[in-house]
């Protein structure tokens, strides 16, 4: 038992940190995160899903690692489907093309250089996105309210 406190168990993977889409920023690069939002559109060529927080922010989700899930459940990438996503936030040097934004939503704020590489996508039709974001702010107020930062370089 002595000396075991600093060790991690490979059979018990790290938990994904719940993050509001509006809070995605470079300080979270390479961290395992959990986001939730409404799918807006899907770029089949790039395998990128655009997920919206139902307010003014959206993020790009790389679905290349979960294609089997998307094929088995096409509702996951259909417009207005509420989804939960676990993945790692990554930086894409030149950014990815933003999928077509449907007419039913005002153009959201999207950083094309920050991408969530999904390792799990699940339908969450009963998830209330307003409650999701409120719970994140209540449990971790400082990080839940950080706005998305853009790099001008």
User: Could you list the pLDDT tens digit for every one of the 153 residues in the chain?
Assistant: 334 444 455 556 678 999 999 999 999 999 999 999 999 999 989 999 999 997 899 999 999 999 887 777 767 667 788 999 999 999 999 888 898 888 888 889 999 999 999 999 999 999 999 999 989 988 874 444 444 444 444
CB within 8 A of 70, min separation 6: which ones? 63, 76, 77, 121
Q: Which two tokens stand for residue 97?
A: 């093309």
Asked if residues 60 and 93 have their Cβ atoms less than 8 Å apart, the reply is: no
Domains of the chain: 17-126 (2.40.50.140)
How much is the pTM? 0.80
Helix, strand, coil shares of the chain, percent, nearest 5, are 20, 30, 50
């Amino acid at each position: 038992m002595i000396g075991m406190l600093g060790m991690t168990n490979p059979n018990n993977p790290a938990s994904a940190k719940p993050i509001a889409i509006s809070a995605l920023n470079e300080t979270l690069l390479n961290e395992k995160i959990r986001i939730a939002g409404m799918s807006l559109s899907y770029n089949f060529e790039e395998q990128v899903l655009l997920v919206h927080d139902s307010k003014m922010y959206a993020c790009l989700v790389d679905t290349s690692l979960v294609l089997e899930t998307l094929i088995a459940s096409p509702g996951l990438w259909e417009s207005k489907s509420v989804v939960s996503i676990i993945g790692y936030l990554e930086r894409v040097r030149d950014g990815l093309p933003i999928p077509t934004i449907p007419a039913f939503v005002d153009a959201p704020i999207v950083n094309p250089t920050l991408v969530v590489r999904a390792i799990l996508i699940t339908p969450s039709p009963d998830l209330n996105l307003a409650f999701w974001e409120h719970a994140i702010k209540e449990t971790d107020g400082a990080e839940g309210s950080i706005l998305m930062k853009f790099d001008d370089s």
